[in-house]
Copies of this chain bind each other. A is one copy, B any other.
């Protein structure tokens, strides 16, 4: 048996339907830079499904690029973005937000989530601080659904944050890199139309949710960022063959595929989670989506690493790491079964080794 790839959710190409659409349209000529009909049509379908037909959609290539472009576009030079200290913009974008000139105002998260209470305190602390003119002004709240730890904001939590942001006049931006896995999770009660209603801008992840690459930025209200195309161009974020994004998202949003595509991931994630719990692994986060974070000893990791790929998250202590298995739309039941067996084998071998 070959390597089992549970390292992340971008280990394969695209959903077969997406590949089919790309193949079928391959030799058709269209204009470039997203002005083609595929892109226009996909945008309309997305707006329809989000319940904001009067909005705007732009397609970008990847998550960090999208975060950087959106944050750069919306913030004034003296403003920063509030994010959980575990947020993608805080840790894993190699300083992309700061490279654009903005401070990430990091708040301690709760299982990767920001609480309305903490955001409120941050905003009011700034307002009350007599030195605030010497400080970075909060101009936006960044959250992701699901979070970096696979956890979910409930509709109630999201509504509280949204209300707070509207009152304070700061933007709310939702990073949906793995949004399909939220939508497929039984625990989730936040729909696309809720995101459109409660945020100023959000993006629907494609790269990790069935596409070769691509993220759809949704502005529920048109015109939030004038000259957005030029801003994207300036960031090197415009694809000459923009239609590739339109064609791909067209597939995802035809017949509701996007809301179904994450289901196998969730199902298999639940199996892995069950297995890890029953084997006694510590799981510090209650993740209902496609990422399963657990604490594993270096010994176990060494045993499993030649046969299954996992992802390093954080050093836990001298002998343990916080690691991740991730499932995706492409994860098969067979591979998941093989992984479960492998986990048990490694634990068994470890136990044997100790008794010797």
Alpha-carbon distance between A72 and B330 when the two chains are bound, in angstroms: 37
**Contact call A238/B104, Cβ cutoff below 8 A:** no
Q: Tell me the minimal C-beta distance from A282 to chain B in angstroms.
A: 20
Digitize A59-70: 1 where CB-to-B-CB distance is under 8 Å, 0 elsewhere: 001111111110
**Contact call B236/A69, Cβ cutoff below 8 A:** yes
Smallest Cβ-Cβ distance to A67: which chain B residue: B236
Q: Report chain B residues within 8 Å CB of A325.
A: none
Q: Tell me the minimal C-beta distance from A94 to chain B in angstroms.
A: 4
Residue of B94, B133, B237 near A65 (CB, 8 A) is B237
**Contact call A96/B236, Cβ cutoff below 8 A:** yes
Q: Report chain B residues within 8 Å CB of A80.
A: 95, 98
**Contact call A94/B133, Cβ cutoff below 8 A:** yes
**Contact call B95/A234, Cβ cutoff below 8 A:** yes
Q: Report A22-62 residues with CB < 8 Å from chain B CB.
A: 22-23, 25-32, 61-62
**Contact call A98/B93, Cβ cutoff below 8 A:** no
**Contact call A231/B10, Cβ cutoff below 8 A:** no
Alpha-carbon distance between A19 and B207 when the two chains are bound, in angstroms: 18
Alpha-carbon distance between A231 and B134 when the two chains are bound, in angstroms: 9
Q: Tell me the minimal C-beta distance from A59 to chain B in angstroms.
A: 13
Q: Tell me the minimal C-beta distance from A112 to chain B in angstroms.
A: 16
**Contact call A94/B8, Cβ cutoff below 8 A:** no
Alpha-carbon distance between A125 and B10 when the two chains are bound, in angstroms: 26
Residue of B98, B136, B227, B235 near A103 (CB, 8 A) is B98
Residue of B29, B93, B125, B312 near A5 (CB, 8 A) is B29
Digitize A112-139: 1 where CB-to-B-CB distance is under 8 Å, 0 elsewhere: 0000000000000100111101111100
Residue of B26, B231, B239 near A213 (CB, 8 A) is B239
Considering only CB atoms and an 8 Å cut-off, how many residues of chain A contact the other chain?
84
Q: Tell me the minimal C-beta distance from A10 to chain B in angstroms.
A: 4
Q: Is A101 an interface residue (CB 8 A)?
A: yes
In the complex with contacts A10-B32, A62-B236, A93-B234, A78-B128 CB distance below 8 A: no
**Contact call A32/B11, Cβ cutoff below 8 A:** yes
Residue of B30, B93, B95, B234 near A96 (CB, 8 A) is B234
Alpha-carbon distance between A315 and B125 when the two chains are bound, in angstroms: 8
**Contact call A11/B23, Cβ cutoff below 8 A:** no
Q: Report chain B residues within 8 Å CB of A98.
A: 80, 98, 101-103, 136
In the complex with contacts A11-B31, A73-B77, A137-B227, A238-B99 CB distance below 8 A: no
**Contact call A92/B134, Cβ cutoff below 8 A:** yes
Most chain B beta-carbon contacts within 10 A, residue among A69, A104, A128, A131: A131
Q: Report chain B residues within 8 Å CB of A99.
A: 77, 101, 234-235
Residues of A at the B interface (CB closer than 8 Å) are: 3, 5, 7-8, 10-14, 16, 19, 22-23, 25-32, 61-69, 72-73, 76-78, 80, 91-96, 98-104, 106, 125, 128-131, 133-137, 207-208, 212-213, 226-227, 229-231, 233-241, 244, 309, 312, 314-315, 330
A-B contact pairs, 13 of them (CB 8 A): A8-B32, A11-B31, A12-B28, A13-B22, A64-B238, A66-B236, A67-B236, A76-B227, A94-B134, A98-B98, A129-B314, A133-B227, A207-B240
